[in-house]
Structure 1
Amino acid sequence: MMKNQLWYTLLKTIGYRGKTLMMTPKNVILITGCDSGLGHSLALYCYSLNMTVISACHNVNSEGARLLRNDNDSQRMFTIEVDLLKEDTITYAFQYIKDFLLTNTEYQFTALVNNAGVMCFGEFEWQTSEQFEMQINVNVLGAMRLTKKLLPLIRQHRARIINITSHCGLQALPALSSYAASKAALRFWCDSLRIEMQQYGVDVINFVPGSFVQFSNISARQQEHAKVMFDAFSDEQRQFYSAYFRQFNNYLKVVSGFKSPNQFHDTILLDKFKAALTDSIPQAMYIHEPWRYKIYRFLFRFCPTPIVDLLTVRFCALPTYQNVLKRSLGNKK
């Protein structure tokens, strides 16, 4: 047993991924956050791989949930309602899968994909306690609650756990401090869980998908969040931040508002997700990123902190207080 474990560790160390596992309708996968964006696309993609897909939607009557039900074989595509802030819906998800597997004893629980998440742009001073607590509660604690509930089934079936994290978990970004904190926490929880679960034959994988905020609804309520922030400002904060806050949120209108659930299309990302799902010897982390991200991530790793800070501001390309102030002073001259 020890020799096999050492050999397996060596193969993973050199990046060997083994054979590709073949998926069939007897392979069951649960994916959270399937109303739109990446989760919706992953549900359809896993369905195309011939798997049985349990799509956990925040609202089972959403457009995305209806599309998943109506456009696919009802014997392989199921939608359930899961709100990661509500323990009863997490218990329901566990019981649903448990009953399904008891009824279909030849089926195998193959993977849990923790994809559901929320994001709120804004400097930390701007965000209300409800806003940053929501991001921590959904992105970290929600994934923990669901995973803990399902761990007996995951262990029994040696199912794979795939946690959708973020580049924000690799490098913290301004105006996303709470979101970055949640994704960094998710990443390190994922690493710890991977070490714990490998002795039971369970693989835990960190999947970093890159930025697709314009093609999902993760920031759909950004302008609503901005109004809540501004309403909570003191008189001093409104006077100090006024022009900057306004320009900052005008810039973000492009990512605000609800989009059609099937806007996300990235075949390269989906191929990498398939590798995370079907590599018989999976890697601990799969990263999907354009060359721009690769270059910045390389520089972030080796540059001194002051330079990293400057690069980070350039990477984000968001309005800054200083730029808005300079423009304002320039207009007055």
Structure 2
Amino acid sequence: MHPRHLFPNIVKGQVSRASRINTDDIQFEQELDNLTGYFEQRGYGKNLVRNAIDESVWGLVNNAGISKWGEVEWNTVHDYKRVAEINLFGSIRTTLAFIPLIKKSKGRMVFMSSTNAIITPQCNSIYCVTKRGLEAFCDSLRIEMKKFGVIVCVVRPGDFTSATKILKKQTAEDIWSTFSEDVKQVYSKEYVDTYIKSIDMRLKRQSRDPDEVVSTVVKTLMISNPNAVWTVASVAETSLAFICSYFPYSVLVPLFYSLGGEKERRVLINQ
């Protein structure tokens, strides 16, 4: 089905993705203006969004997301708050704004999570915290919305880094220069560079087709009984998510320690 036909009938509340807006402290009216302008520029009827919203909103897709990597003590509370403002609170704000209309139409809400809500390796705590928090929010919301006939779903993609460009290319100097003096004394630039090389490898991989994720979102909106959680990931990622869900930490910590190259990295720490 062409998006021109899909949007008016189904995705009337797709604010987070379609409008390409930053949900940090933006008023609802401005969000609607941005969304309206986005679709008018692409040939949809004037005031389509506002007319649709005045009538009802059947589907809401929350897809705003940014990322920042680094070991915990490399970051600040501000870094955690900045990512959470978009990945977690952005979705919460949009949801609160649209709940009355979604309830009215007995529609559904779709949230873009990540396998990193389940797979939480070193050097990725900021992103993982927001995605796990988002899924916890959805778990509660799903139960609360059931009595109103509203369905809440989560789409959990694997690693689409090379396609989404969610990670920016940085040098070891870029990262190391932001450290406090105490942290610089512990972590050398060579240590940081091991992570840079790992990320560069991910960015150089052949891009996975993001249409797989988009198709899952559309299916979630269109079929009568969608799954509560959809995982769009490779066999390896799905297997690792299973291990992280059911195996004890006595297995997980050594596993990530080995897979993440911590043994080799340890010798680069200044102790």
Whether the TM-score (by the shorter chain) exceeds 0.5 is yes
Q: 1:56 maps to what in 2? A: 19
Question: CA distance change for structure 1 residues 252 and 152 in 2, over 3 Å: closer, same or farther?
Answer: same
Q: For residues 128 and 99 of structure 2, what CA distance do their matches in structure 1 show? A: 26
TM-score w.r.t. the length of structure 1 is 0.65
CA drift of 1:184 comes to 0.8
Q: For residues 24 and 237 of structure 1, what CA distance do their matches in structure 2 show? A: 50
Question: CA distance change for structure 1 residues 87 and 299 in 2, over 3 Å: closer, same or farther?
Answer: same
CA drift of 1:326 comes to 4.2
Q: Say yes or no: does 1:237 pair with 2:154.
A: no
Which of 246, 249, 267 pairs up with 1:305?
249
Secondary structure at the aligned position of 1:125 is classed as helix
Residue identity (%):
22
Question: CA distance change for structure 1 residues 312 and 273 in 2, over 3 Å: closer, same or farther?
Answer: farther
5+ unaligned residues in a row in structure 1: which ranges? 1-21, 35-54, 58-81, 258-262, 329-333
CA drift of 1:296 comes to 1.9
Q: Would you say the 8 A contact 2:88–2:134 is kept in 1? A: yes
Amino acid at match of 2:22: D
Q: CA RMSD in A?
A: 3.2
1:44-92 Cα offsets, whole Å, 9 max, x none, are xxxxxxxxxxx111xxxxxxxxxxxxxxxxxxxxxxxx2110232x332
Larger Rg: 1
Q: For residues 218 and 108 of structure 1, what CA distance do their matches in structure 2 show? A: 33
Q: For residues 151 and 226 of structure 1, what CA distance do their matches in structure 2 show? A: 45
Which of 210, 214, 217 pairs up with 1:273?
217
Q: 2:264 maps to what in 1? A: 323
CA drift of 1:281 comes to 1.6
Q: Would you say the 8 A contact 2:71–2:125 is kept in 1? A: yes
Question: CA distance change for structure 1 residues 268 and 256 in 2, over 3 Å: closer, same or farther?
Answer: closer
Secondary structure at the aligned position of 2:209 is classed as coil
Which of 261, 267, 292 pairs up with 2:236?
292
5+ unaligned residues in a row in structure 2: which ranges? 37-46
Q: For residues 109 and 272 of structure 1, what CA distance do their matches in structure 2 show? A: 20
Secondary structure at the aligned position of 1:87 is classed as coil
Question: CA distance change for structure 1 residues 264 and 156 in 2, over 3 Å: closer, same or farther?
Answer: farther
Matched residue count: 252
Q: For residues 24 and 7 of structure 2, what CA distance do their matches in structure 1 show? A: 32
Q: 1:10 maps to what in 2? A: none
Secondary structure at the aligned position of 1:286 is classed as strand
Q: For residues 284 and 150 of structure 1, what CA distance do their matches in structure 2 show? A: 20
CA drift of 1:213 comes to 1.0
Q: Say yes or no: does 1:85 pair with 2:24.
A: yes
CA drift of 1:230 comes to 2.6
Q: For residues 205 and 168 of structure 1, what CA distance do their matches in structure 2 show? A: 17
Q: Say yes or no: does 1:282 pair with 2:226.
A: yes
| Structure 1 runs of 4+ with >6 Å offset | none
Q: Would you say the 8 A contact 1:219–1:255 is kept in 2? A: no
Question: CA distance change for structure 1 residues 239 and 25 in 2, over 3 Å: closer, same or farther?
Answer: same
Q: 1:160 maps to what in 2? A: 108
TM-score w.r.t. the length of structure 2 is 0.79
Question: CA distance change for structure 1 residues 210 and 251 in 2, over 3 Å: closer, same or farther?
Answer: closer
CA drift of 1:306 comes to 1.7
Equivalent residues in 2 for 1:174-253, closer than 5 Å? 174-220=122-168, 223=170, 227=174, 229-242=175-188, 243-253=190-200
Q: For residues 118 and 24 of structure 1, what CA distance do their matches in structure 2 show? A: 25
